[in-house]
Structure 1
């Protein structure tokens, strides 16, 4: 679901090259991708896009162990939504250049921005939360997520007050900005308990934009320390030790680490910001990095630029092109030939903003819960200060008890988290749904003497079901399925279908892989709340053109039965 990240790069290529043929090539690809993603990922209840964290794609490295791939699909991540916001903005800009209709994308981007700020901003923390997660009812994970925070600042999702707050209040450790914070206990370093130089680079770009000198100095030092000590641009290093030894996987000469390092020169010290019609210069240089820097033979469209920046600060005192003043710090794209640009900074510090380092920290383990005899109970978590009990997505109840009475006559979803002495909340327990027998309807899907029905691109492309109830009411709908097409943690053979309820499109159902050849390993799809009416209701599971996965060939699952839970 974060595949649209390439849109940002494709647009940047156009801004640098001005190649209209490239723009015409990428336009239909971007448009088709965004249109399909809107149908597949958009959640009208929150206004956000579902799916996995951008780049943080190692499941248990940043998600609770209980979360299945269907659960991850249901979640809504900060960084991924920031990318969808920016991608919709970009396609609208491209539409204007190519004189195509693009107003709908501008409307979508504005809505995504509004809902990111509505659902992710944690006022008491002063930064955005990591993601919304759960099953039937979502709650915010209050962990800090460095890439998502950075993109929110760079894309202007965060206003200036939020941007300042992010850099003053976010938890940053001695060796750099960790991918997430606090860390997850019992999970080895990779995305968890680690610093990635390319993420640190985005954080630095956002710090430069916001004007937090201390945050920028620390971020630059994080990159340069690693490069100096390791004598290469490693992919990541352990947050706890600052050493590249100890992460699950690592690579030297990693391209995105190298790109981040180079970007510190091009975009921070030299201050190049590319636009459709030229380059706007805005160097941001902390006092400790004061000096003279020259970038020679930089190729830009039909020009070769030699750029010298002198001094420090974030405001330009003077800028010249071949000895003549360059108006508004802007170099038009029509320039050609070889030219010299000299920038003199105002030599003033911009370091009044707060910035504090924190010790690396691990959250508590998530409680495990059970429901017996009209009571929910959970284990005692060492180091806990108190627990938070979530019931049907309502605001959590604070308690120091290890159990609570539940209403045995009402369906409900329950989960519990543990909060430590520093106020950091663990992941929640796996949600448990309590369902009185009277509230459960099961729809058998077996066919041809088999204990299941197969769905694929050629079999049961429209699976028609009926649900009969004696009263109107809200029901939770989900399907028991198996998918042995591939491993659970990689590959691209998730079965995808469109759900129609009483003839109307309701949303997308996903049936992710559960293990190679594990066609007898059953799990739950994602779920939807349906307003059933008294009598017969129709439910159709349909393969539409936009349900093609990225494998394009294998899109198969086995369905055992459907379940409707009266809420």
Structure 2
């Protein structure tokens, strides 16, 4: 039948790459056998695992592929529970919830884990359990003195949670698939309006047109952010992340669509305009032309960081934020290794393996989706094989793997890891299921069938067959391939419906694709110490230790060696430096230092200040928040600073004061004032996660069972001229 095609395909690659019943990797093997009753047995470095027949099955030439699909369904059943628990909630006692738990080592429901898992297709497997889990992450407000609403919860996290971390809007990525239930749909629309309005008030920066907050999912800050954020997370809350902004873009798009369905044309138009503006800002601010990639995050003043993450890149592509050639180039330029694609790049040489030096299957699944979006057959095959190999060699859909070996543990002294690696991790289970349903059989989230299958996978999946089939309880999808495979990507030629069976006849096309970036340096250089800055007769003199790259007020000044002068005007600049490796990679930035002598005002509120010149001024507070560990909690203090200058319109700034190590500076905002104007500052109460009713169950720290807590010890109000117009 297809022997000629098979021989040609095998000639193009090694015999061991066929992956029918065995996968060989780094001197070890995993083997899959199948019994007549549909049971599978997987043997590998982990031992042996029996896998029962499942309600969905695939018929391909690869028992390995078919058996791992059954294993993912078996693990989804194991993750389907009637109660959850976490040591920080209800004193670790079981909480009734007919929902999905996060994994063998994480028997709870986390907003981002569940939402990404549902978006990766779990809504199709158990819609009611999916709704239940999502509903568990919604909450009203327990403080009657605050504005009421229905909000998505940001889980405990860096510096006391939201608004340091702001990716809770990922909830809508999952919820959008489950709107056929009217009660749930009504709650989705209410939570969408309330959550977006709250984020617009507290984390949207109108100067840059972006939403502030931590990268989505990459929430172990020392792994991905500068080392000095280990003791001060204000930078993270002030910065902007690609992934989190793309999630806000998708939430705004959903809000516009639902507003139209509710007959609210004015709201729909407002959301559409906000989404369009945000898309434009993301492309303007995060695209780094010299790399041909989207940066993972940038500083609060727009300073670019030479660091990248796969989830943010993939979401930018699948959401439509990245379009055309930019989307193709961004994915092609994102580095990869034989085992798979790292979730961050470049890696950190001083950090253990977890997000650093790691492959995460759920992120690989989004990268596979992105590869399908840009019709890149090599990348589709690469991510698919990475997901398969990891599950086969570990005997479970693990949380993560080490980048170079795809092992679940690598001994490397204090850098050993992955530090935590849970079996049957929910979003890894979802990744495998999505890789089969959409990645191979083309069953999209919209319900359409659009296979895009690399010809390189024909030997594994088809062997000498001319068709493969996905069987579900409701339908079956059969893919048929032509006798001649002249091209590198199989796509739909025709579709026929025979009762509940959909038969897709495919054709091979030659799809030009950019070569994968497989020769990137692994590590970024270590960042330099912070520079010093002083004013003399010539201007502002910046001095650094050796040859570094200087940035001032969000802009790259260039390479200096020792010292230079910047900003010879009156306003003091804020500067940081990076170090460049022999490969041209920049390190993360040093701490930022600013010139000049800020004005400090203490005493009671309100506080007054007279502007000496017309212009923009940066404003922040000195504070101490000792209500919890800098790693976790829900008591980041959030206030609103209300400002009235002369007869000008009132201005308002959100001020965030996360958990701190001693006294430090809060987040800052920028105001405008005219020379001679007396500005009056009032401090008003804001909102934090402890104000949500759900956190009455939080027993792992303050702001929980004992009541809401949104406070800090507040010191001086600091004002300095603002430089650099974003």
1 CA distance for matches of 2:606 and 2:405? 57
The SS at the match of 2:633 is coil
Would you say 1:357 and 2:518 are equivalent positions?
yes
Moved more, 408-417 or 283-292: 408-417
Aligned position for 2:222: 60
Cα displacement (A) at 1:199: 0.5
CA distance in 1, matches of 2:610, 2:513: 66
- Determine which of 216, 239, 250 is the counterpart of 2:421: 250
Structure 1 distance, partners of 2:534, 2:720, is 20
CA RMSD, 1 decimal: 2.2
Aligned to 1:235: 399
The answer to whether the aligner puts 1:529 opposite 2:670 as a matched pair is: yes
Distance 1:477 1:305, change over 3 A: same
Alignment partners' CA distance in 2, 1:74 and 1:546: 16
Does residue 1:346 correspond to 2:487, yes or no?
no
From 105, 110, 117, the counterpart of 2:283: 117
Kindly tell me the number of residue pairs found equivalent between the two proteins.
Answer: 509
- By how many angstroms is 1:372 displaced? 6.7
Cα deviation, residue 318, structure 1 = 2.0
Structure 1 partner of 2:454:
286
2:691 and 2:223 mapped to 1: Cα distance? 24
Gap change, CA 1:369 and 1:205, over 3 Å in 2: same
Alignment match of 2:711 (pick from 551, 556, 560): 556
Distance in 2 (CA, whole Å) between partners of 1:5 and 1:112 is 16
Matches within 5 A, 1:18-417: 18-67=180-229, 68-100=232-264, 101-133=267-299, 137-245=301-409, 246-275=417-446, 279-290=447-458, 291=462, 292-298=467-473, 304-311=474-481, 313-322=489-498, 339-350=500-511, 352-371=513-532, 374=535, 375-380=541-546, 387-399=548-560, 401-405=561-565, 410-417=571-578
Cα distance in 2, alignment partners of residues 266 and 281 from structure 1: 10
Residues 365 and 435 of structure 2 are in contact (CA less than 8 Å); yes or no, is this contact kept in structure 1? yes
**Alpha-carbon distance in structure 2 between the residues aligned to 1:91 and 1:75:** 25
Judged with a 3 Å threshold, the aligned counterparts in structure 2 of structure 1 residues 149 and 215 are, in CA distance, closer, same or farther, namely: same
Distance 1:274 1:186, change over 3 A: closer
Q: In the aligned structure 1, how far is the partner of 2:327 from the partner of 2:571?
A: 43
Unaligned runs of 5+ in 1: 299-303, 324-338, 381-385, 448-462, 516-520
Post-superposition offset of 1:46? 0.8
Runs of 4+ with >4 A deviation: 372-375, 405-410, 544-552
Aligned 8 A contact 1:319 1:344 in 2: yes
User: By percentage of residues, which structure has more strand?
Assistant: 1
Q: Which moved more, 1:344-353 or 1:33-42?
A: 344-353
How far the C-alpha of 1:532 sits from its partner, in A, is 3.1
TM-score with structure 2 length normalisation? 0.67
Deviations 1:288-308 (A, max 9, x none): 22223322234xxxxx11222
The CA distance in 1 between the partners of 2:611 and 2:366, in whole Å, is: 53
In structure 2, list runs of 5 or more residues that go unmatched. Answer: 1-165, 410-416, 483-488, 536-540, 696-702
**Following superposition of structure 1 onto structure 2, how do residues 486-525 of structure 1 map, counting pairs within 5 Å?**
486-502=628-644, 504-514=650-660, 521-525=662-666
CA 1:511–1:532 in 2, change beyond 3 Å: closer, same or farther?
same
Does the CA contact (< 8 Å) of 1:27 and 1:91 recur in 2? yes
Change (3 A) 1:373 1:21: closer
CA separation in 2, counterparts of 1:431 and 1:12? 43
SS of 1:66's partner is helix
1:475-530 deviation per Cα after TM superposition (whole angstroms, max 9, x unaligned): 32111001111111111111111122216233211010126xxxxx1011011222
Q: Structure 1 residues 260 and 547, CA, compared in 2 at 3 Å: closer, same or farther? A: closer
Distance, in Å, in 1 between the alignment partners of 2:624 and 2:719 is 19
Conservation of the 8 A alpha-carbon contact between 1:61 and 1:192: yes
Tell me the SS of whatever aligns to 1:53.
Answer: coil
Deviation of 1:34 (Å) = 0.6
Aligned to 2:95: none
CA distance in 2, matches of 1:372, 1:2: 36
C-alpha distance in structure 2 between counterparts of 1:123 and 1:372, whole Å:
30
Q: 1:25 to 1:249 in 2, by over 3 A?
A: same
What SS class does the counterpart of residue 185 from structure 1 fall into? coil
Give 1:270 deviation, angstroms: 1.4
Does structure 1 conserve the Cα–Cα contact (< 8 Å) formed by 2:634 and 2:690?
no
| Residue in structure 2 matched with residue 538 of structure 1 by the alignment | 680
Whole-angstrom CA distance in 2 between matches of 1:116 and 1:469: 34
Higher relative contact order (CA 8 A, sep 6+): 2
Contact 1:497 1:508 in 2 (8 A): yes
- After superposition, the Cα gap between the structure-2 partners of 1:168 and 1:373, relative to the gap in structure 1 and judged at 3 Å, is closer
Distance 1:76 1:545, change over 3 A: closer
